[in-house]
Structure 1
Amino acid sequence: MQKISLFFLLVSVFFISCSDDYEEHEIGEDLVDNSTDVRLIDTFTIYASTVILDSIATSDADVMTVGRYVDPYLGTVTSNGFTKIGLGGSFDLEANDDPVYDSIVFVTYYDEDYYGDTTVSQTLNLYRVTEEMELEEDESGNEYLYNVSSFEIDTVPLGSKTFTARPMRTSDSGDEYNFRMNLSDEFGQELIDMAIDHDETLQASAEWENYLEGVSLRPAVDDDATILNFQTSNDTLMYIRLYYHETSTTTDSDEVLYHDFPIGSSSYVFSNYQSDRTGTPLEKLVEQKYDLSSEDAGQRTFIQGGIGLMTKLIIPYIENLSTLGLAGSLLKAKLIFYPAIGSYDDDLYPLPDSFNLYTCDDYNDIESALYSSSGAALTSVFYEDEEYGEESYFTFDVTSHFNDVLTDGDDDTNTLLISLESSSLSNSTDRMVLTNDKATDFEFKIEATYVVQDEE
């Protein structure tokens, strides 16, 4: 039939080939002699690469992310937590009560999310921040701290703990399990002495902040274990607790007394992420304006939270679908992408639950999120190959986006970024390795179902 030859001629200008899977429907025998073809087009040209964001806001989060592990694809990944410590109200002690210092501890609570190997022993250290912690203002006038923000710390830690993490463990009452670290007795005794002397440092928040600007929780420099999340949504979930008792004859010497110094404003609770990618395909990826093509990275692209790795896709020729036939309509379009076989498992390197999709400009700056026809932010769906585990894939329904491109005729929106969902992007090191091997079926692809109406 002549119309089929014309269809293939048009498609070949923009696509490599066209699927033979189509259905032809005749429209009314007593009307104009025309027909409608429903075709599945699955050979769009797609250019895939990896980019890295210059910065990601990580403050104002409900968790602090801390730890270090060595990733077989992404190198050494480290996360250091920072926070201010509040005064928790004025703290005074009376010398006549004979107060005696007992101990001082840093207390926080695990969040169930983690990344890495919890069977391996690891060490966390708490350091005193020695530099003023200041927020950074963005172009819109909002103030944040970022994954690349950092402040000077003391050379000697206030405390250290070596342990095996149990983030899923709960107490006998069913509550989340807390993490406790003993701090320096010298530090604790100094606070008791100031309280007895009615020192102004323990009377006003401004004076306290001059004394203790903040603290930083960070892993040992040679750890290869787990990235942990600690809860920070309120000041009962992270604090420094000073224990003491009073020995005068007028007080109960057996009573356990304490004062809590809680975490400060959430604006100053943030995580600093670092990645040493030496010896990996991503070693030269150092600035946001550069792309690392999948061909230069072993037919792979990468996504990682905290560090800010995203997969970039350029999909040219979308708008040319509208030139096929006298009239046409897009029924469905989906983006399909595959996790690299052997790059993930349920224990050490689990796949993220879902992803978001964004448009971006020529400098890889995010412009806007993609939304579904219902107005919700577009999220991916996972299809698991439960039998063999080799053909699992994620998919986005990009029908609405493709229709927008066809309506506007604008190819500036043909560049997309696949990212972790926003909360995971800023406060986790979740990652995925994606395969783009054009010699196999495991490559980025678009499947578009398009109706073409031609005249006989």
Structure 2
Amino acid sequence: MKWKLLAMAALTGLAACDKSGFEYEDAAPGGNVRYSLIDTIGIGMRTIQLDSVPSSGTGYLVVGGYSDPETGRIDVAANFRVARPYSFPELDDRVVYDSIEIIFRPDAYSYGDTLPDQEWSVYQLARPLELDDDQTRFYTHHVFPHAATPLARESFPILPHRGDSIQLRLRDNFGRELMEKIRTKSEDVSTDVLFLDYMKGLQLRATRGTAVFRVPAADSAVVMRLHYHISTTEIEKYTIDFPIGNPELQFNEVHVDRSNTPLASLIPGPAGLLSSDAGNRTWVQSLSGMVTRLDFPSLTGLPLLGKYGKVMQATLELRPISGTYPQYALPPRITLCTATKDQVVTDTLSTVSGYQYGDLVTDLLYPENTKYAYDVTTYCAAIAKGETPITRGSWRSPLPAIITRS
């Protein structure tokens, strides 16, 4: 989620048909073709903080947090609905309440130090988790109100690669009230709409966390479970499961504190923080919407190639600064896309549906050669043809995405 980067670009134009490493058609016969290799293209880089990052309907609950001396402190809380089951069992006076818990099953993804204990908390939302009339989705900067007192709070570590689950026992008065409403067939649990008004929604957070975790927004990964029993000749134990509801409205709210870091002056907007003002470095942190923007002012000279010139190959290489990522592994891919001056992503000049992913090439012997490589031939060829003025590219890690490193 955080890398400091230096960039090097190699732009190749007008290559001869027998030039080593190049294969192309329609070259003039007899080898009467001149070529030029350009490797001094100037690149302007800056760190940009996007003012709004979509966060709902990503398919994942993201929760946790960590501190970094350069990017600051980031904390993520997941807001979601709990759905009413399709039907409730008939409960009579013999039913005895046992407990209520909520279970989260993270997938294998994590970011940060997972060994220390995390303090997990679950809060009930203060109003139903719904979009306002003027909203179409939730964003990371949205803060949804919740009750002051948590339904659960417990500290323990989670090792997702081991298949650990987050199991939190909720307050018994909450569980007893819910079971009584089911037993008496209260209106509060009679329909989905009324159940939402009663339950409202939940928030999962990990205060003082040292890592970020990801939980699929699916019935198999999130469930609130009510335990009860009936005493006859022996104790018969039963459960009622409440799955996650309407995953499209589940969203992750992100809180960032960058005070006392090199990014303390970074504010949302197109100006960003120039790499020249930050030790010739830029940063990327997808979860908070921090991206790196690359501008290529020298490329405006490519149309001077004229109608007889052609860009045969152009490659962009992004090299993480060696020694700046010992604690957290580099992501296997970083997304590259074209964008307007207002950071609106476009696909007019990219090669694969507007995005490239720059698979990581790691050199353990010579770490300075570790890089992400991108084919920007289409981008440069379009500029050489005069199809666009200064078109800007920006790159960012994939997020989910989520908070994803795919």
TM more than 0.5 = yes
Q: Which of 321, 335, 344 is the aligned partner of 1:365?
A: 344
Match of 2:25 in 1: none
Q: Which of 346, 365, 388 is the aligned partner of 1:387?
A: 365
Structure 1 residue 32: deviation in Å? 12
Match of 1:323 in 2: 304
Alignment pair present for 1:246 and 2:233? no
The 2-side partners of 1:385 and 1:285 are apart by 32
Equivalences for residues 43-442 of structure 1 within 5 A: 43-91=40-88, 93-96=90-93, 98-135=94-131, 143-170=136-163, 177-220=164-207, 223-232=208-217, 234-247=218-231, 249=232, 253-324=234-305, 327-345=308-326, 348-368=327-347, 371-372=350-351, 377-413=355-391, 415-421=392-398, 424-428=399-403
Match of 2:22 in 1: none
Question: Can you list the C-alpha shifts for 1:125-156, whole angstroms capped at 9, x where unaligned?
Answer: 00000023232688xxx932221122101111
Retained in 1: the 8 A contact 2:303–2:386?
A: no
Query: Structure 1 residues 236, 224: CA separation in 2 closer, same or farther (over 3 Å shift)?
Result: closer
Match of 1:440 in 2: none
Q: How many residues align?
A: 387
The 2-side partners of 1:25 and 1:192 are apart by 79
The 1-side partners of 2:243 and 2:311 are apart by 56
Q: Which residue identity does 1:169 align to in structure 2?
A: R
3-state DSSP of counterpart to 1:426: coil
Deviation larger for 282-291 or 154-163: 282-291
Question: Can you list the C-alpha shifts for 1:217-269, whole angstroms capped at 9, x where unaligned?
Answer: 0111xx1411011121x22320110000123x4xx642211111111101121
Structure 1 residue 426: deviation in Å? 3.0
Retained in 1: the 8 A contact 2:110–2:160?
A: yes
Q: Which residue identity does 1:84 align to in structure 2?
A: R
Q: TM-score, normalised by structure 1?
A: 0.78
The 1-side partners of 2:353 and 2:199 are apart by 46
Match of 1:3 in 2: none
3-state DSSP of counterpart to 2:57: coil
Structure 1 residue 70: deviation in Å? 0.2
The 2-side partners of 1:359 and 1:115 are apart by 27
Match of 2:39 in 1: 42
The 2-side partners of 1:147 and 1:401 are apart by 31
Structure 1 residue 34: deviation in Å? 10
Question: Can you list the C-alpha shifts for 1:296-324, whole angstroms capped at 9, x where unaligned?
Answer: 11210011111011111110132422324
Q: Which residue identity does 1:103 align to in structure 2?
A: S
Query: Structure 1 residues 204, 407: CA separation in 2 closer, same or farther (over 3 Å shift)?
Result: same
3-state DSSP of counterpart to 1:147: coil
The 2-side partners of 1:34 and 1:322 are apart by 24
3-state DSSP of counterpart to 2:394: strand
Q: Which residue identity does 1:87 align to in structure 2?
A: R
Structure 1 residue 206: deviation in Å? 1.4
Q: Which residue identity does 1:329 align to in structure 2?
A: K
Question: Can you list the C-alpha shifts for 1:261-310, whole angstroms capped at 9, x where unaligned?
Answer: 11110112111112101011211212123310001112100111110111
Percent identical residues: 27
3-state DSSP of counterpart to 1:153: coil
Retained in 1: the 8 A contact 2:151–2:171?
A: yes
The 2-side partners of 1:104 and 1:253 are apart by 22
3-state DSSP of counterpart to 2:384: helix
Q: Which residue identity does 2:304 align to in structure 1?
A: T
Q: Which residue identity does 1:407 align to in structure 2?
A: K
Q: Which residue identity does 2:109 align to in structure 1?
A: D
Query: Structure 1 residues 45, 403: CA separation in 2 closer, same or farther (over 3 Å shift)?
Result: same
Retained in 1: the 8 A contact 2:189–2:195?
A: yes
Query: Structure 1 residues 195, 417: CA separation in 2 closer, same or farther (over 3 Å shift)?
Result: same
* Larger gyration radius, structure 1 or structure 2: 1
Query: Structure 1 residues 190, 329: CA separation in 2 closer, same or farther (over 3 Å shift)?
Result: same
Retained in 1: the 8 A contact 2:336–2:395?
A: yes
The 1-side partners of 2:350 and 2:396 are apart by 14
Q: TM-score, normalised by structure 2?
A: 0.87
Structure 1 residue 390: deviation in Å? 2.7
The 2-side partners of 1:32 and 1:265 are apart by 64
Retained in 2: the 8 A contact 1:147–1:426?
A: no
Query: Structure 1 residues 409, 318: CA separation in 2 closer, same or farther (over 3 Å shift)?
Result: farther
The 1-side partners of 2:329 and 2:349 are apart by 25
Query: Structure 1 residues 195, 383: CA separation in 2 closer, same or farther (over 3 Å shift)?
Result: closer
Note the residue ranges of structure 1 that are not aligned, 5 or more in a row.
Answer: 1-17, 171-176, 432-456
Retained in 1: the 8 A contact 2:106–2:221?
A: no
Question: Can you list the C-alpha shifts for 1:161-204, whole angstroms capped at 9, x where unaligned?
Answer: 2111110013xxxxxx4321111011111112222222111211
